[in-house]
């Protein structure tokens, strides 16, 4: 009887975690809808670069998945009222652990890049820290009206 319950809990947890996929904020990653769309290009010079943390937020799936796994694991301990208590404790501990794991996975290293455009305007763009920028470098700002990327 416990094997089907564990299987269902694991499948539900994996499905939940699959929905947690983090969208990139990289200047080097385009999704399929962004391909072949025209972008405006502005040239400028990097004024400053500052490390920041990009917080993708918590969806709650870490808590749910952790609580489900903890509850299932706890129910396997003992029998009767002891199993119920272990299930509750396992669910609480699993929920706390799942929340912590999701919070750590949701935070990414980013850069705030301030660029002085050739027309004198200043722009600051935050994106993933997957490309190195230095003050004084010439860069391009690519904009599609919603997103702006800084590239070399």
Instruction: Please give the pLDDT value at position 4.
Output: 47
**Residue pLDDT tens, the chain, 152 long:** 554 455 455 545 555 544 445 567 777 787 787 787 889 999 999 999 999 998 876 666 766 777 777 777 777 776 677 777 777 777 777 777 777 766 666 788 999 999 999 999 999 999 999 999 999 999 999 999 889 999 99
Query: How far lies 11's CA from each of 16, 45, 61, in Å?
Result: 9, 50, 13
Instruction: Please give the pLDDT value at position 104.
Output: 64
Category of 28 on φ-ψ map: left (φ > 0), alpha (ψ -120 to 50) or beta: alpha
Instruction: Please give the pLDDT value at position 72.
Output: 73
**Contact in structure between 67 and 92 (CB atoms under 8 Å):** yes
Instruction: Please give the pLDDT value at position 112.
Output: 97
Q: Which of 103, 120, 118, 110 is nearest to 149 (CA)?
A: 110
DSSP state of 133: -
Name 56's Cβ contacts closer than 8 Å, sequence gap at least 6: 22, 23, 106, 107, 108
Instruction: Please give the pLDDT value at position 7.
Output: 47
Q: Roughly how many angstroms between the first and final C-alpha of the chain, as a whole number?
A: 59
Instruction: Please give the pLDDT value at position 84.
Output: 74
């Amino acid at each position: 009887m416990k094997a089907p319950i564990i299987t269902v809990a694991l499948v539900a947890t994996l499905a939940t975690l699959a929905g947690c996929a983090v969208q990139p904020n990289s200047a080097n990653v385009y999704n399929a809808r962004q391909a072949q769309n025209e972008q405006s290009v502005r040239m400028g010079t990097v004024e400053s670069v500052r490390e920041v943390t990009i917080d993708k937020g918590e969806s709650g799936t870490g808590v749910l998945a952790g609580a489900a796994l903890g509850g299932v694991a706890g129910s396997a301990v003992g029998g009767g009222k002891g199993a119920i208590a272990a299930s509750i404790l396992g669910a609480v501990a699993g929920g706390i652990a799942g929340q912590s794991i999701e919070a750590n996975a949701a935070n990414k290293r980013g850069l705030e890049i301030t660029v002085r455009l050739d027309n004198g305007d200043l722009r600051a763009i935050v994106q993933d820290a997957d490309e190195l920028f230095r003050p004084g470098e010439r860069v391009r700002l690519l904009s599609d009206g919603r997103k702006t990327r800084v590239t070399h």
